């Protein structure tokens, strides 16, 4: 199968490296000529090509709003029988756009690998990024098996899920942690001098690691998944308020219960997100 990856940042570059390591032929493209050169240099692609007609499977590995624009551009260039998938962190918006704009006979399978790093860019790409990761696929299209083959090839495991269910899940386990890390960094910076942050221990560093992620990527994610993200934020605020109230009232039993409950749940989750 001829695979083309559009967008050669961390995810697209890592996908190219992993597929090539598995023996697949990968064509790739990025709007940035420096990124294209780096992708060739690090071996993330076999060849550079912006022609979608040369590919059986096209992977959109750009931020969400760029992927939406790409779908509209590709609608007039793709041919019947081709498959398009994506790796965007929100699914409902792009699945609706694909249904509306792609011609009949061109298949779209929404996808999202639950894998990444705080630092982005092709220079951070690695072939083992997806090893053991869940890769959500949102379409029941007859061609989904071909996309599943790609997922298995890079060491990930396909998880079939409706787009709306994915967005609710991602808001809770991915988007909310990002916002929490951002809020914690900004709140800490208002309480202590920035030069004192070097004294922060492992707890603060581990909790805030993802706050260093590229802002532009997160703007796309948060603004294309607003309702689920806002619902998750409301739930977090309720939990924080409950903790705060227990401290205000010195309710030791309630505070102990909340701390122990969280510890119990957290111990059930392994390093790759699996239940222990």
Render pLDDT for 19-77 as a digit per residue (tens, 0 to 9): 999 999 999 999 999 999 999 999 999 999 988 888 999 999 999 999 999 999 999 99
Residue 229 CA to chain centroid, in angstroms?
Answer: 14
Give the integer Cα–Cα distance in Å for 220 and 226: 10
Dihedral (CA of 96, 97, 101, 107) sign: negative
Q: What is the pLDDT of residue 274?
A: 60
Closest CA to 258 of 270, 248, 273, 244: 244
Residue whose pair of structure tokens reads 């704009």 in the numeric block: 101
Q: Which residues lie below 8 Å from residue 218, measured CB to CB, with a gap of 6+?
A: 178
**CA pair distance 49, 275, nearest whole angstrom:** 42
Residue 23 CB contacts under 8 Å (≥ 6 apart), including other chains: none
Phi, psi of 38 (to 5 degrees): -65, -40
pLDDT of residue 275: 56
pLDDT (0 to 100) of residue 272: 60
Below-50 pLDDT ranges, the chain: 276
Of all residues in the chain, the percent with pLDDT exceeding 70 is 97
pLDDT tens-digit readout, 9-19: 999 999 999 99
What domains lie within the chain, and their CATH numbers? 3-161 (3.40.50.720), 165-267 (1.10.3660.10)
pLDDT of 142 reads 85
How far apart CA 45 and CA 120 sit, in angstroms, is 18
Residue 269 DSSP class: B
Q: Output the DSSP codes for 96-138.
A: HHHHHHSPTT-EEE-EEES---SS-SGGG--TTTTTT-EEEE-
């Amino acid at each position: 199968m001829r695979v083309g990856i559009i967008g050669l940042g961390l995810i697209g570059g890592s996908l190219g490296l992993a597929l090539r390591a598995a023996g697949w032929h990968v064509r790739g493209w990025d709007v940035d000529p420096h990124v294209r050169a780096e992708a060739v240099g690090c071996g993330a692609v076999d060849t550079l090509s912006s022609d979608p007609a040369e590919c059986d499977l096209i992977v959109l590995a750009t931020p969400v709003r760029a992927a939406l624009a790409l779908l509209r551009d590709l609608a007039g260039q793709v041919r019947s029988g081709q498959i398009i998938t994506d790796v965007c962190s929100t699914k409902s918006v792009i699945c609706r756009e694909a249904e509306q704009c792609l011609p009949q006979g061109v298949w779209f399978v929404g996808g999202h690998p639950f894998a990444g790093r705080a630092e982005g860019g092709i220079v951070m790409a690695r072939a083992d990024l997806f090893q053991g990761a869940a890769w959500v696929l949102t379409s029941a299209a007859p061609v989904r098996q071909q996309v599943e083959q790609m997922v298995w090839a890079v060491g990930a495991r396909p998880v079939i899920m409706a787009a709306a269910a994915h967005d609710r899940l991602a808001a809770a386990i991915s988007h909310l942690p990002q916002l929490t890390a951002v809020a914690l960094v900004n709140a800490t910076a208002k309480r202590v001098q920035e030069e004192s942050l070097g004294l922060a221990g492992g707890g603060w560093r581990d909790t805030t690691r993802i706050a260093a992620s590229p802002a532009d990527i997160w703007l796309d994610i948060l603004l294309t998944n607003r309702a689920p993200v806002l619902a998750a934020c409301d739930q977090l605020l309720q939990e924080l308020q409950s903790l705060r109230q227990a401290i205000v009232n010195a309710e030791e039993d309630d505070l102990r219960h909340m701390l122990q409950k969280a510890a119990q749940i957290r111990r059930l989750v392994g390093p790759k997100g699996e239940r222990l």
